[in-house]
Amino acid sequence: MSREADYDHVVLEARDIVKTYGGTRALKGVNFEIRRGTVTTLFGENGAGKSTLMKILSGVEQPTSGQIVLDGKPVTFASTNEARDRGISIIHQELSLAPNLSVRDNIFMGREIRGPLGVDYAEETRQTQALLDEMQLPIAPDTLVHDLRVGQQQIVEIARALSVNSRILIMDEPTSALAAAEVEVLFGIIRDLLARGVAIVYISHHLEEALEVTDHAVVLRDGTMTARDERANIDLEWIVRNMVGENFDLGSPPTGYEFGKAILQVRDLTVVDPENPERAIVNRLSLDVRKGEIVFIYGLMGAGRTELLEAIAGKEEVAEGDVLLDGASLAPLSIAERIDAGVGLVPEDRQRDGLVQTFDVGTNLTLASLTRSLSRGMLSRRREKERARDLIQTVTVKTSGPDQLIGALSGGNQQKVVIGKIIATEPRVMLLDEPSRGIDVGAKGEVFRLLADRARDGLAVIYSTSEVGECLSIAHRIIVMRRGRISAEFGPDATKDMIMAASGESVAA
Ligand SMILES: Nc1ncnc2c1ncn2[C@@H]1O[C@H](COP(=O)(O)OP(=O)(O)OP(=O)(O)O)[C@@H](O)[C@H]1O
Ligand SMILES: [Mg+2]
């Protein structure tokens, strides 16, 4: 992305970094360097060690062995504060904001601006406002974080990292919850930072998007660097080949069977904005999904996809209309009763709705389907473990086993646990809200294969996405949502341009 990349100036070098966690060797001797005014992009499968390496460079974790060299001199960082004082900051993959604090307090946490009368809130508010303006995020500095959408939280994370004026900025999946326009804002900011000589490390599973900003690409595989090259010499195929060792394929719509009857019927459904009941977020929307059918819903952020899925799952209040399962209204049923009836939702925000961070992998996987872990009416730990092991296989979670704490899993593997948890409830209708967030290309293909297999057995799938490329895979039908309504419907032969045009997005020249 940088025009006059300063290729000679290495600001930071990691030499032979090893990191072990108990028996897991997350990094097996990685050499890595970062240059001034350039973007180094780190590619790799889920669990390859990308976040671990970045945590070591930013003082979150200490290496088991190896050396960090900053401006030619060996350094050690005992904490993130030490790294930050040396000009290194990180935007974490997992949102790390305190939900009960304001945006301003989150940005200045641990480094409050002090005046003669204590914390200078006015100055903090002013600086926060300036950052929010730069990020084009129209919220007030005193908004509580838990009132923000995931994407907005992610922008606040970015703003917090920008606020310290670092020389090295690490971005671990900064765009996973952002809309296209928000990504453009971020890329504009990245260009400014590069012009000021900042060195950036960028990690993303949106490969095409990442290529747009890449100057150098580095691929990690199983804790080892397997490839590196300059932007001019690489393309998407190079990345995928080096990441997963083969060409990947997101699959095609499963065929060879007839769809069953309409199992899910959405009838004139309206969901209104709780803050402004005049505004319909989902607007008199009707949709039928048949047994065995896979429907993808594409739309920009704010099109109403999340609200539609949450209304079907019972998490969002319905103002008008109805949702029927097997011809019977779901209106009287609670969220839990809908799960029992066979409606499973993989939520957008795994940190808040999907996982209990203090529990282990096994418990998280089986939590939503405990009745299936009963043995003679009693909860059987052994049965629960067995089920957990099966599920780990089914959704291919990279973990040491059911007893591992969920927080020790890589981001993409945590997302697979959320999917496994819903699979475990044996849904008849599966709703997935941007489930590929943080999942690598190989794993995405596995999830798609899994959904296609289940569809053959009669599962109805609604899969919401803002990545247009995903629509051209296993979908029998692609529905485009725009401002709460269905603006177009396509079969599997649609093109990216057709889908994007129907969403209101400008189609790139
Ligand atoms: N605190 C921890 N305790 C034990 N194992 C850990 C811990 N943190 C990471 N690991 C393991 O280290 C390996 C590398 O994980 P890491 O988070 O670096 O992967 P990643 O490349 O960032 O993957 P993703 O694309 O899914 O984010 C994984 O096997 C992970 O389970
Ligand atoms: Mg990671």
Round to whole Å and give the CA distance between 88 and 70: 10
Please check whether residue 503 is in contact with residue 296, taking contact to mean a CB–CB distance below 8 angstroms.
no
Q: Which atom of ligand 1 is nearest to the CA of 48?
A: 21
Q: Minimum-distance ligand to the CA of 61? A: 1
pLDDT at 6: 45
Q: Which atom of ligand 1 is nearest to the CA of 415?
A: 26
Task: State both tokens at 74.
Answer: 């060996």
Identify the domain containing residue 433 by its residue range. 262-342+427-503
Same domain, 420 and 434: no
pLDDT in tens, 85-137: 999 999 988 878 999 999 999 999 988 999 898 999 999 999 999 999 988 89
Pocket test for ligand 1, best of 19, 20, 24 (most atoms within 8 A of CB): 24
Same domain, 74 and 150: yes
User: Is 165 part of a structural domain of the chain?
Assistant: yes
Phi then psi for residue 118, to 5 deg, are 100, -155
Angle subtended at Cα 452 by Cα 448 and Cα 453, rounded to the nearest 5 degrees: 120
Which of the listed residues 424, 452, 471 is the one where a domain comes to its end?
Answer: 424
Which of the listed residues 424, 445, 478 is the one where a domain comes to its end?
Answer: 424
User: Is 256 part of a structural domain of the chain?
Assistant: no
- Atom 2, ligand 1: residue with shortest CA distance: 408
- Atom 9, ligand 1: residue with shortest CA distance: 408
User: Is 2 part of a structural domain of the chain?
Assistant: no
Give bridge partners of residue 430 from the DSSP assignment. 344, 461
Which of the listed residues 244, 270, 286 is the one where a domain comes to its end?
Answer: 244
User: Length of the chain, please?
Assistant: 509
- What pLDDT tens digit does each residue of the chain (509 aa) get? 654 444 468 999 999 999 999 888 999 999 999 999 999 999 999 899 999 999 999 999 999 999 999 999 999 999 999 999 999 999 988 878 999 999 999 999 988 999 898 999 999 999 999 999 988 899 999 999 999 988 888 889 989 988 888 899 999 999 888 888 888 989 999 999 999 899 999 999 988 899 999 999 999 998 999 999 999 999 988 998 898 776 567 899 999 999 999 999 999 999 999 888 999 999 999 999 999 999 999 998 889 999 999 999 999 999 999 999 999 999 999 999 999 999 999 988 777 778 888 899 999 999 888 888 788 888 888 888 999 999 999 998 999 999 999 988 988 899 899 999 999 999 999 999 999 878 888 888 888 999 999 999 999 999 999 888 899 999 999 999 999 999 999 999 999 999 999 998 765 53
Same domain, 47 and 194: yes
Same domain, 71 and 213: yes
Please check whether residue 159 is in contact with residue 135, taking contact to mean a CB–CB distance below 8 angstroms.
yes
504 alpha carbon to ligand 1 midpoint, in Å? 38
Task: State both tokens at 453.
Answer: 């297999």
Q: Which residues of 191-222 are buried (b: 16+ CB within 10 A; e: fewer)?
A: eebbeeebbbbbbbbbbebbbebbbbbbbbbe
Q: Which atom of ligand 1 is nearest to the CA of 55?
A: 18
Same domain, 23 and 165: yes
Same domain, 373 and 478: no
Same domain, 21 and 118: yes
**Residues with Cβ–ion distance below 5 A, ligand 2:** 51, 93, 410-411
25 alpha carbon to ligand 1 midpoint, in Å? 10
SS3 of 391-444: the string is HHHHCCCCCCCCCCEHHHCCHHHHHHHHHHHHHCCCCCEEEEECCCCCCCHHHH
Closest CA to 222 of 447, 40, 440: 440
Phi then psi for residue 311, to 5 deg, are -65, -40
- Atom 25, ligand 1: residue with shortest CA distance: 46
Round to whole Å and give the CA distance between 251 and 265: 27
Pocket test for ligand 1, best of 18, 21, 351, 415 (most atoms within 8 A of CB): 21
pLDDT in tens, 337-354: 999 999 999 988 777 778
Pocket test for ligand 1, best of 410, 414, 441 (most atoms within 8 A of CB): 410
Q: Which atom of ligand 1 is nearest to the CA of 47?
A: 19
Round to whole Å and give the CA distance between 329 and 202: 47
Q: Which atom of ligand 1 is nearest to the CA of 61?
A: 1
Round to whole Å and give the CA distance between 237 and 243: 10
Same domain, 457 and 412: no
Pocket test for ligand 1, best of 51, 204, 437 (most atoms within 8 A of CB): 51
231-238, long-range: CB < 8 A, 24+ apart? 235/211, 236/207, 236/208, 236/211
509 alpha carbon to ligand 2 midpoint, in Å? 32
Pocket test for ligand 1, best of 45, 52, 201, 222 (most atoms within 8 A of CB): 52
Q: How many domains does the chain have?
A: 3
User: Is 126 part of a structural domain of the chain?
Assistant: yes
User: Is 321 part of a structural domain of the chain?
Assistant: yes
Same domain, 192 and 283: no
Same domain, 323 and 298: yes
Same domain, 312 and 383: no
- Atom 31, ligand 1: residue with shortest CA distance: 409
Round to whole Å and give the CA distance between 451 and 149: 27
pLDDT in tens, 39-81: 999 999 989 999 999 999 999 999 999 999 999 999 999 999 9
Round to whole Å and give the CA distance between 172 and 89: 11
User: Is 253 part of a structural domain of the chain?
Assistant: no
Secondary structure of the chain: what % helix, strand, coil (to 5)?
35, 30, 35
Q: Look-up: residue for tokens 């409830």?
A: 425
- Identity (one letter) of the amino acid at 211? L
Please check whether residue 270 is in contact with residue 280, taking contact to mean a CB–CB distance below 8 angstroms.
yes
- Identity (one letter) of the amino acid at 190? I
Same domain, 404 and 269: no
Cα 150 to its chain centre, rounded Å, is: 10
User: Is 5 part of a structural domain of the chain?
Assistant: no
CA-CA distances (angstroms) from residue 427 to 172, 347, 370, 389? 33, 14, 14, 19
Please check whether residue 502 is in contact with residue 471, taking contact to mean a CB–CB distance below 8 angstroms.
no
Round to whole Å and give the CA distance between 414 and 28: 22
CATH number at residue 197: 3.40.50.300
Q: Minimum-distance ligand to the CA of 218? A: 1
CA-CA distances (angstroms) from residue 163 to 113, 130, 131, 379, 394? 12, 10, 7, 50, 42
- Residues touching ligand 1 (Cβ under 6 Å) are 21, 24, 26, 44, 46-52, 93, 398, 408-413, 438, 440
412 alpha carbon to ligand 1 midpoint, in Å? 9
User: Is 3 part of a structural domain of the chain?
Assistant: no
Round to whole Å and give the CA distance between 114 and 123: 9
